[in-house]
């Protein structure tokens, strides 16, 4: 009896096992693969993110979808430190730019920006530890700015270009950086990048030794940041402390230094630098007393001069 039914039972079990093992769910759409891939990349699951992106590239049905998938795959191939394939990433980015070349495009500017970033991040010899930016990448940032001037990627490209120029610490490059900031900020006061660009300009002005302009720029950067950051997400203790320092040591504007040291004390009472700010206020008082004495002596000397 058993011998007769055993093969039948085995067959039934095999069929059941096969059926339960079958994936009965609907295949994922391209956008689902992309969402999952980005999610995996965000938490550092590189291999899994690449699998999703590879599938998205092969199953994409439109050029736009394919461009998105190629950009995503290029990101997961180029930025992680684990098993990067930068050359393939570059090829994919080039293809994404061609595929999504229509005006009003979404992906091509980001792909072009990532190509430029790879110039700074991947094209510098890892052993050349003192070289932080790659001048050859600058043209690529400029290309993003000129080809898609109204796209958000162009604003970000400008920020990276200015960074690259300021980091070079030469007067010519600092001057060029200042020009790039000054042509952007006055007409883009509401841009999330304006305050940052002014912060970079301040560093360029340091290279040029223009202390008073630097102080004004730092103050403008802080005010603009606080205006844009309506919900107050960012902490400004470092910026406020920095303005006090520039005012005191670089410009000699003791009134401004006092104002910002006091601002730090009142707005950020738990900041470690509050003690420094109190010491600075004492230091300024002492300096003013010395300067007053010097002025009084000079005045007396003038008056007694025949």
Partner 1 sequence: MMAIFRFLWNNAALILIAAAFAWAAGTVWTRAARSIEGENEIVLRVCHWQLETGYRDAINELGKDFSDDYFKRTGKRVTIIQDAIPETVYGQFVSTNLIGGTAPDLISVGLGLSNVIWREYLNRYFVPLTSDINRPNPFNVGTKLEGVPFKQTFVDGGRSSYNEELQNYMTVPTSVHAIRLFYNVDLLEKLTGLRTPPKEWNAFLAMSEKIGSQKKADGTQYTPLASSKYHFGVWASTVADPLTWTLLKKADFNRDGYVSSEETFAAIKSGRLKFDDPAIRARYAIITQLTPSFPEGWTGKQRDEAVFLFAQQRAVFIPTGTWDARSLQQQAIDADGKQIFEVGIIDFPSPTSTDPVYGPFALGPKYDRPLPWGGFGITRTCKHPDVAFEFLQYISSLKGNEKFNEIVGWIPVVEGAAIPESLRSFKPTLRGMYGNFAPFVGGETSVRFEQLSDVFIAGRISFDEMVKQYTPAYLTMGEKDYTLAKRDWKRGSLGSEQFLVTMRESLKTVPAERQREMLWRYASLTARRQLFPTVDRAYQVKLIADSGKGSGEGSVQLPAPYELSAAARSRAKENLRKSLAFESK
Write out the binding residues for partner 1, residues 126-155 only, by CB under 8 A.
126, 129-130, 132-133, 152
Distance in angstroms (rounded) separating the CA atoms of residues 87 and 199: 34
Binding pattern for the stretch 234-253 against partner 1, x by CB under 8 A and - elsewhere: xx--x--xx--x--xxxxxx
Q: Does the protein bind partner 1 through residue 80 (CB under 8 A)?
A: yes
Range 57-62 contact pairs with CB under 8 angstroms and sequence separation of 24 or more:
59/30, 59/33, 60/30, 61/30
DSSP alpha helix (H) spans, the chain: 2-21, 30-42, 46-59, 63-78, 86-99, 107-121, 138-147, 152-167, 171-184, 194-208, 211-228, 237-245, 254-267, 274-304
Nearest to 283 by CA among 229, 232, 247: 247
Binding pattern for the stretch 4-33 against partner 1, x by CB under 8 A and - elsewhere: ------------------------------
Binding pattern for the stretch 209-228 against partner 1, x by CB under 8 A and - elsewhere: --x-------------x--x
With tokens 């738990």, the residue in question is 270
First to last CA, the chain: 138
Stretch in the footprint of partner 1 (CB under 8 A) among 3-11, 76-84, 87-95, 96-104: 76-84
Q: Does the protein bind partner 1 through residue 94 (CB under 8 A)?
A: no
Q: Does the protein bind partner 1 through residue 54 (CB under 8 A)?
A: no
- Tokens representing residue 284 in the block: 């300024």
Q: Which residue among 123, 136, 183, 294 contacts partner 1 (CB under 8 A)?
A: 294
Distance in angstroms (rounded) separating the CA atoms of residues 74 and 87: 9
Q: Does the protein bind partner 1 through residue 38 (CB under 8 A)?
A: yes
- Tokens representing residue 16 in the block: 């059941």
Query: Which CB sits closer to partner 1, 99 or 116?
Result: 116
Distance in angstroms (rounded) separating the CA atoms of residues 121 and 8: 63
In whole angstroms, the minimum distance from the beta carbon of 281 to partner 1 comes to 12
In whole angstroms, the minimum distance from the beta carbon of 203 to partner 1 comes to 5
Distance in angstroms (rounded) separating the CA atoms of residues 40 and 111: 20
In whole angstroms, the minimum distance from the beta carbon of 223 to partner 1 comes to 15
Cβ atoms of 155 and 133 closer than 8 Å: no
Q: Does the protein bind partner 1 through residue 196 (CB under 8 A)?
A: yes
In whole angstroms, the minimum distance from the beta carbon of 267 to partner 1 comes to 8
Q: Which residue among 8, 269, 304, 306 contacts partner 1 (CB under 8 A)?
A: 269
The backbone torsions φ and ψ at residue 53, rounded to the nearest 5 degrees and listed phi first, read -65, -40
Nearest to 185 by CA among 198, 170, 169: 198
Stretch in the footprint of partner 1 (CB under 8 A) among 10-18, 22-30, 59-67, 163-171: 163-171
Query: Which CB sits closer to partner 1, 1 or 230?
Result: 230
Query: Which CB sits closer to partner 1, 9 or 291?
Result: 291
Q: Does the protein bind partner 1 through residue 75 (CB under 8 A)?
A: yes
The interface with partner 1 within residues 176-195 (CB under 8 A) comprises 192-193
Cβ atoms of 215 and 256 closer than 8 Å: yes
């Amino acid at each position: 009896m058993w011998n007769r039914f055993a093969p039948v039972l085995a067959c039934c079990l095999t069929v059941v096992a096969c059926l339960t093992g079958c994936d009965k769910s609907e295949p994922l759409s391209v956008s689902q693969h992309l969402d999952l891939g980005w999610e995996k990349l965000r938490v550092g699951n590189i291999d899994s993110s690449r699998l999703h992106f590879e599938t998205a590239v092969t199953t994409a049905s439109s050029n736009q979808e394919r461009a998105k998938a190629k950009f995503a795959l290029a990101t997961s191939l180029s930025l992680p430190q684990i098993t990067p394939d930068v050359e393939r990433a570059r090829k994919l980015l080039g293809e994404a730019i061609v595929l999504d070349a229509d005006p009003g495009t979404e992906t091509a500017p980001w792909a072009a920006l990532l190509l430029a970033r790879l110039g700074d991040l991947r094209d510098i010899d890892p052993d050349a530890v003192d070289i932080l930016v790659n001048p050859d990448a600058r043209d690529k940032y400029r290309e993003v700015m000129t080809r898609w001037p109204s796209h958000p990627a162009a604003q970000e490209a400008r920020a990276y270009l200015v960074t690259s120029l300021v980091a070079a610490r030469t007067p010519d490059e600092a001057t060029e950086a200042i020009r790039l900031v000054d042509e952007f900020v006055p007409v883009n006061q509401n841009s999330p990048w304006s305050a940052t660009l002014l912060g970079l300009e301040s560093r360029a002005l340091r290279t040029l030794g223009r202390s008073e302009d630097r102080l004004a720029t730092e103050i403008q950067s802080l005010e603009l940041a606080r205006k844009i950051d309506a919900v107050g997400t960012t902490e400004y203790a470092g910026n406020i402390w920095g303005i006090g320092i520039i005012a005191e040591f670089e410009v000699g504007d003791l009134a401004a230094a006092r104002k910002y040291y006091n601002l730090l004390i009142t707005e950020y009472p738990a900041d470690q630098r509050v003690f420094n700010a109190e010491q600075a206020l004492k230091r300024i008082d002492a300096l003013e007393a010395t300067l007053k004495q010097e002025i009084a002596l000079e005045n007396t000397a003038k008056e007694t001069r025949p």
